[in-house]
Copies of this chain bind each other. A is one copy, B any other.
Amino acid sequence: MIALRLFFLAAFQILVLTPIYAQTTDFQWKQVAPGVWKATVGKPENFSPLGVAGIQPATAALQKLGTPAFPKYLSGSKNELSDGKAYLRFPLVKEEQLFGLGLNFKSVQQRGTIKTLHVDHYNGKDDGRTHAPVPFYISDKGYGVLINSARYITVYAGTAVRKDSKNPPAEMNRNTQKDWSASPYSDAVEILVPAAGAEVYVFAGKDAMEVVQRYNLYCGGGTLPPKWGLGFTHRTPTLFTDAQVLKEVEEFEANGYPLSFVGLEPGWQSYAYPNSFVWDSTRYPKPKQFLDQLLQKNIRANLWINPYVSSHSPIYKKILPYSGTHTVWVGLVPDFNMKPAQDLFKGLFTERHIQLGVAGYKVDETDGYDDWLFPDVAKFPSGRSAEQIRQTYGLQFQKISSDWFREKNIRTYGLVRASNAGASAMPYVIYNDYYNHKDFITALVNSSFIGVLWTPEARSSQTSEEWLRRMQSVCFSPMAMLNAWADGTKPWTFPEVAGQVKEVMQLRMQLLPYLYSTFAQYHFEGKPPVRAMNLVEGFSFEEKIIEGKLNSTDNPYAQAVRQDIKDQYMLGDYLLVAPLFAGDRSRKVVLPRGKWYDFYTGKFVGEGETIELKNLTGVDKIPLFVRDGGIIPMIPPILHSPVKDQILPLTVRYYGSKENSWNLYDDDGETFDFERGGNSWTKLEVKKDPSGKLTGANPAAGGKSFHYNSIKWEYMTK
């Protein structure tokens, strides 16, 4: 017995007490799809963003995209386990640029930054705390690295210089050398995963865009919203009654402003913050009738919620055992890793909302502000830590709620405040309370790297100029939303610009065929609808470091200020959007290689150069430029998104002087039948005759899935 105990003790010592001396090792990459590799480090956790998202790789599309070799730049990557954590290291070469690493609002290029990726409300610093802290970075050398972890991982994106670096920067004497840098060149991305292991994915690509495509396709392909989701949406004030909402809808109609869906804010519920999830019987006594009235006007309804359960909710008692130890505003925090919690939500939401005609949700407060969320000390019945649940809460709600609609063969399109890796296929758009117009556009740019959608919502404004600028840019985003829950603002609130606002909202509606095809590219090819310039062919931009000015108060160490192209982007293949901001009297626009034309006039504006737009006072339109060969299909300025089977005439604008063709997508706009062949791709083609004259061909009709009865070509460039 003593011998046995001694042996037992020895085994214990060997197995437990002996520190595992950490050795740096190579990754063992295993191809999991064409151009996609995976490696595991240590003992990865059985819980991850991709797992929560339930991704189903779009295998055929990945195959079609090609079978590139493993990125040579990543040979020499290393990993190590130490201090109970996984240490990962990936090499970098000089001049290499990095993008991604979450939904950032201030910067596009991420090399030289440090981030701890943490789901939170964005608070003014690109430090990793944001709504979608996707642990994925893309190199302009043509690869991407994803750490599939639901932990707060820290990323040193080329900032830490190792003692054993083979090619270290020279040591400088700050006393005498003016080009001393506080952040010398580093030849590696290093990542700390605070878990006993990690799962790492590598995505190859001939360029950054192909990497993003492969990532999105591996995550199932980008979401394809219903047609109504791409129309205009207005969120009504929080305590509005059914009658007030209907009146507001009628005002839009009467004034000629487009509207495809309305959002109902907390007051639709009997109790909110935490939530009963049932209709307030005084403000909405007959919800089915109310929703029917809206639908008769071709308007859908979206319901605001957050996931925290009020004691007044019918599911409160049943969900109690499947909720965490801590509350949010004294409401229960469901553990959606427990099937009963999912089922209780599904039952209530299906019966009380979806079956009555509710078209989608706005899922609030899944992000943070820290005290607007459960704490990291909370414990959950599934055994998942609060950290893991926080990192995936918004993502998981996207997944389970979109499945409710999918089961009914209805597409939804909603709003969410938190997301993570694997979200490409989720029919949700991220929004927040941070209300900086310029930074909203940078978030739009950055959303394109990481498989999420973002809306730079309009809410209120100090001036009519600001109002116009905000309404213009939101019309060139994945969700054209006026969020008037607190202010009651309407598109025509500033009479001086009411006409111009109407014009850009109408333009949004006219562009629906172009937008819808652009989203179809997201779904079928993995190309994001909004595209950072760094993803665009022909764009080359050398990062400039503007030397900082030494000043003991604001910039005591003369830190260099980084210059980034973060205020313009492409919407689809052809449209370059250069938003204006209140107060701007001029702005620069960087045009990629090739000829570019003004969207409104068709006139040539420049070619592979930076142009400056001047004298912008009184400019009514948002600057839009079209690439040479640009094919922009448009419909008349209808007030509501087309209903199923609605047939419309098509006008196709053509820009520039070269032959080109482009595929117009269509389907029923409402169901998932498009996944089973119920769709059409129609080739729009422009050819030159021997005299050099351009002519657009009348394409073969796309059958049942093609909803245009005529095609008129409009040659914009004379």
User: Residues on A close to B: CB < 8 A?
Assistant: 8, 11-12, 15-16, 19, 22, 82-84, 87, 89, 112, 114, 123, 125, 154, 156, 159-164, 168-175, 180-184, 190-192, 194, 238-239, 266-267, 269, 271-274, 280, 310-312, 320, 323-327, 329-332, 370-372, 374-379, 383, 385, 387, 433, 435, 459-460, 485-487, 550-553, 556-557
Please state if A161 and B280 are interface contacts (CB–CB under 8 Å): no
**Please, which residues of chain B bring their CB within 8 A of the CB of A83?**
385, 387
Please state if A375 and B326 are interface contacts (CB–CB under 8 Å): no
**Please, which residues of chain B bring their CB within 8 A of the CB of A372?**
182
Please state if A171 and B371 are interface contacts (CB–CB under 8 Å): no
Known contacts A171-B310, A271-B173, A271-B175: A377-B192 contact under CB 8 Å: yes
Q: Which of B11, B175, B331, B551 contacts A12 (CB 8 A)?
A: B11
3 smallest CB-CB distances across A and B, nearest first, come from A486-B552, A174-B273, A160-B375
**Please, which residues of chain B bring their CB within 8 A of the CB of A238?**
175
In the assembled complex, the Cα of A433 lies from the Cα of B555 at a distance in Å of 9
Please state if A163 and B326 are interface contacts (CB–CB under 8 Å): yes
**Please, which residues of chain B bring their CB within 8 A of the CB of A174?**
266, 272-273, 329
Q: Which of A114, A329, A379, A485 has the most CB of B within 10 A?
A: A329
Q: Which of A172, A370, A376 has the most CB of B within 10 A?
A: A376
Please state if B330 and A184 are interface contacts (CB–CB under 8 Å): yes
**Please, which residues of chain B bring their CB within 8 A of the CB of A160?**
326, 374-375, 377-378
In the assembled complex, the Cα of A194 lies from the Cα of B11 at a distance in Å of 27
Measured CB to CB, the nearest residue on chain B to A280 is B175
| CB<8 Å pairs between A and B, sample of 15 | A156-B375, A160-B374, A160-B375, A161-B327, A162-B325, A163-B327, A171-B274, A171-B330, A171-B331, A173-B271, A175-B238, A175-B273, A182-B371, A485-B552, A486-B556
Measured CB to CB, the nearest residue on chain B to A173 is B271
Known contacts A11-B8, A156-B377: A267-B175 contact under CB 8 Å: yes
A334: min CB distance to chain B, Å: 12
Please state if B376 and A154 are interface contacts (CB–CB under 8 Å): yes
In the assembled complex, the Cα of A184 lies from the Cα of B161 at a distance in Å of 46
Measured CB to CB, the nearest residue on chain B to A268 is B175
In the assembled complex, the Cα of A15 lies from the Cα of B267 at a distance in Å of 54
Known contacts A15-B15, A175-B266, A460-B552: A159-B371 contact under CB 8 Å: yes
Please state if A487 and B552 are interface contacts (CB–CB under 8 Å): yes
In the assembled complex, the Cα of A556 lies from the Cα of B183 at a distance in Å of 37
Known contacts A160-B377, A327-B161, A385-B82: A272-B175 contact under CB 8 Å: yes
A485: min CB distance to chain B, Å: 8
20 other contacts beyond A15-B16, A171-B310, with CB at 8 A cut-off? A87-B379, A114-B371, A156-B375, A160-B375, A163-B320, A168-B330, A171-B312, A171-B329, A172-B329, A173-B310, A174-B273, A175-B267, A175-B269, A175-B272, A182-B372, A459-B552, A459-B553, A486-B550, A486-B551, A486-B552
In the assembled complex, the Cα of A310 lies from the Cα of B173 at a distance in Å of 9
Measured CB to CB, the nearest residue on chain B to A552 is B486
In the assembled complex, the Cα of A344 lies from the Cα of B492 at a distance in Å of 73
Measured CB to CB, the nearest residue on chain B to A195 is B84
Known contacts A15-B11, A180-B273: A164-B325 contact under CB 8 Å: yes
Q: Which of B11, B125, B267, B375 contacts A114 (CB 8 A)?
A: B375
**Please, which residues of chain B bring their CB within 8 A of the CB of A552?**
435, 459-460, 485-487
**Please, which residues of chain B bring their CB within 8 A of the CB of A154?**
375-377
Known contacts A273-B180, A375-B190, A377-B156: A553-B435 contact under CB 8 Å: yes
In the assembled complex, the Cα of A372 lies from the Cα of B160 at a distance in Å of 10
Please state if B553 and A191 are interface contacts (CB–CB under 8 Å): no
Q: Which of B19, B324, B485 contacts A163 (CB 8 A)?
A: B324
Please state if A162 and B239 are interface contacts (CB–CB under 8 Å): no
In the assembled complex, the Cα of A19 lies from the Cα of B385 at a distance in Å of 14
In the assembled complex, the Cα of A238 lies from the Cα of B556 at a distance in Å of 12
Measured CB to CB, the nearest residue on chain B to A82 is B379
Q: Which of B327, B385, B460, B557 contacts A162 (CB 8 A)?
A: B327
Measured CB to CB, the nearest residue on chain B to A170 is B330
Measured CB to CB, the nearest residue on chain B to A156 is B375
Please state if A84 and B84 are interface contacts (CB–CB under 8 Å): yes
**Please, which residues of chain B bring their CB within 8 A of the CB of A84?**
84
In the assembled complex, the Cα of A551 lies from the Cα of B274 at a distance in Å of 21
Measured CB to CB, the nearest residue on chain B to A550 is B486
Q: Which of A11, A272, A320, A433 has the most CB of B within 10 A?
A: A11
Known contacts A182-B371, A184-B330, A387-B83: A163-B325 contact under CB 8 Å: yes
Please state if A377 and B87 are interface contacts (CB–CB under 8 Å): yes
**Please, which residues of chain B bring their CB within 8 A of the CB of A312?**
171
A322: min CB distance to chain B, Å: 12
Measured CB to CB, the nearest residue on chain B to A553 is B435
In the assembled complex, the Cα of A178 lies from the Cα of B82 at a distance in Å of 51
Measured CB to CB, the nearest residue on chain B to A87 is B377
**Please, which residues of chain B bring their CB within 8 A of the CB of A487?**
552
In the assembled complex, the Cα of A310 lies from the Cα of B269 at a distance in Å of 65
In the assembled complex, the Cα of A485 lies from the Cα of B161 at a distance in Å of 28
**Please, which residues of chain B bring their CB within 8 A of the CB of A459?**
552-553
Measured CB to CB, the nearest residue on chain B to A188 is B377
